[in-house]
Amino acid sequence: MTTANQELETKVKNVLDQIRPYLQADGGDVEFIEMTDDKVVNVRLLGMCGNCPHSQMTLKSGIEAAVKRVLPEINAVESIIE
């Protein structure tokens, strides 16, 4: 991973840390998994967010929107389901 990508990954994690209290207030959370070479951030929704029927809206309208607002070079935020 390049230094630029490492710095971008750190910035993504910082944005997620800023969002986390809002998710935790509703019984959920988000975990950073990885950032791909094409600048797609993979996360895991945890707690109530993991099985909430609104989780995709939270992911796209909340988490992805916040990340892209701060870091427009990010192409997408996707949820990893295991």
Tell me 36's DSSP state.
-
Which of 8, 2, 53, 49 is closest to 27 using CA atoms?
49
Q: Tens of pLDDT along 18-42?
A: 999 999 998 999 999 999 999 999 9
Q: What's the structural domain count of the chain?
A: 1
- The CATH number of whichever domain residue 7 belongs to comes to 3.30.300.130
Statement: residue 77 has pLDDT above 80: yes
Which amino acid is it at 38? D
- The pTM score is 0.90
- Give the domain extent around 65: 3-79
How confident is the model at residue 29, as a pLDDT? 94
pLDDT band at 48 (very low <50, low <70, confident <90, very high): confident
